[in-house]
Amino acid sequence: METSSNKGIILIADTQYLTTEALKLLLAESGHKIEAVSSRSALLQYLQQDQVALIITDYVLFDFRSINDLKEIGEHQPDSPILILSNAINQMQIKEFNNVGIRNIALKTDDKTELLLAVSSALKGKKAYSGSVLDILLKLEGPVEDACLLTSSEIEIVRLISSGLSTKEIATKKHISFHTVMTHRKNIFRKLGVSSSPELMMFAIKAGLIDNIEYHI
């Protein structure tokens, strides 16, 4: 059995005492050493001294100066994924996190199963949003209807993209040209009104085209 010393440190960066203590209790059986800081300066100081397996933080309430703080942490600690855990979040913030490479987000109101899955996914290097975050990112009434705009070939392309295949790999698998796949991608993005692969993945999950909240980018 792995011990906390060789499984790494999970660092909680949160200003709320109850949240911090609840997370410590929730993660007590994870096998990781759980540490906590309550300020940006303490977080940066800790990261200068130790490598951590995961950073869990509430960006909204923590004293970050801007989204660039998270970007800089990600650049200096590329092996330390960041899980955003907040009371409330909006679509704009989700897109801002995505733009700086953070694609692990959950809400403090999520249940135990969702929270543990969010932590597990982040530790494994997988990108995942909890169900409640997906509800915010994509409204319930839109995706299923919009999916009807896609042809069967386009739906298959969406699923192949979701599985992590590159454009070249999709072309090889379907025995079509690279240019044809690119044309499909452009048409899919235009029809669905999305502008990036992560947005496409979220659409596919919500529309039921793929059935797992863990996706590949």
Give residue 44's pLDDT: 93
Give dist(CA 17, CA 5) in Å, integer.
25
Going residue by residue through the chain (217 aa), what tens digit of pLDDT does each one get? Answer: 344 445 799 999 999 999 999 999 999 988 899 999 999 999 999 999 988 999 999 998 899 988 999 999 998 889 999 999 999 888 778 888 888 889 899 999 999 999 999 999 999 988 888 888 887 776 544 544 555 677 878 888 988 888 888 999 999 999 999 999 999 999 888 888 788 887 787 777 766 676 554 444 4
Handedness of CA 179, 154, 144, 120 (dihedral sign): negative
Contact between 202 and 137 (Cβ < 8 Å): yes
pLDDT digit string (tens) for 135-151?
777 654 454 455 567 78
Residue 187 structure tokens: 């048409």
- pLDDT at position 2 is 41
| 155-170 residue pLDDT tens | 889 888 888 889 999 9
Q: Are 144 and 207 in contact (CB under 8 A)?
A: yes
pLDDT at residue 62 in the model: 93
State whether CATH 1.10.10.10 applies to domain 143-215: yes
Phi then psi for 35, rounded to 5 degrees? Answer: -120, 165
Pairing of the two strands 104-107 and 127-129: parallel
The domain spans of the chain are 4-137, 143-215
Tokens representing 85 are: 């855990």
Classify domain 4-137 by CATH number: 3.40.50.2300
Q: Is residue 54 a contact partner of residue 106, using CB atoms and an 8 Å limit? A: no
The CB density around residue 20, as the number of other CB atoms within 10 Å, is 19
Q: At what angle do helices 112-123 and 17-26 cross, to 10 degrees?
A: 80
